[in-house]
Amino acid sequence: MSTVSFKCESELEAQVVANAVNRYHHILRQRGLSPESYSPYPEGSGVILDWADVKAAARSMSGGTVTGMSVHMARAIREALLDKEKNGNDADFSAIAGKLASRFTSEIWWSETGRQ
């Protein structure tokens, strides 16, 4: 399984990640999806995450610290950040979420293409 290393550059970035992931938990429920069996891929991929694990990964991130996670976890966090960017109520947090989502996209790509 591929792993992704991600570094929040500040405590504010870590706070935005945690906020986006927590918010997305509620959005999944509103959409009628079970956060306990979330799949960051199309149906039938066989990858299932418990959103509680995604929330724990987000909470473990802090400014200046590199956090390692599975590519599946990174995709889930990126999805939450993209939703926060698009639908968030706070313009500053939404802008930061968009930048973080772009960085996650890059790290996922590098992980999947075998960056050494």
pLDDT for 40-77, tens place per residue?
A: 765 556 788 899 999 999 999 998 889 999 998 999 99
d(CA 11, CA 113): 29
40 vs 113, residue with greater confidence = 113
Q: Report how far apart, in Å, the C-alpha atoms of 22 and of each of 53, 78, 81 are.
A: 11, 13, 10
d(CA 73, CA 58): 9
- pLDDT for 115 equals 61
Chain centre distance of CA 16: 10
- pLDDT surpassing 80 at residue 102: yes
- pLDDT surpassing 60 at residue 99: yes
Bridge partners (DSSP) of residue 113 are none
Total of domains in the chain: 1
Angle between helices 71-87 and 51-60 (to 10 degrees): 80
| 56 phi and psi angles, rounded to 5 deg | -65, -40
> What band does 33 get if pLDDT is binned at 50, 70 and 90?
confident
> What mean pLDDT comes out for the span 24-33?
91
> What mean pLDDT comes out for the span 27-32?
91
- Structural domain containing residue 19: 3-112
pTM of the model: 0.90
Looking at 3-90, list the stretches that DSSP marks H as alpha helix, in order from N- to C-terminal side. Answer: 11-30, 51-60, 71-87
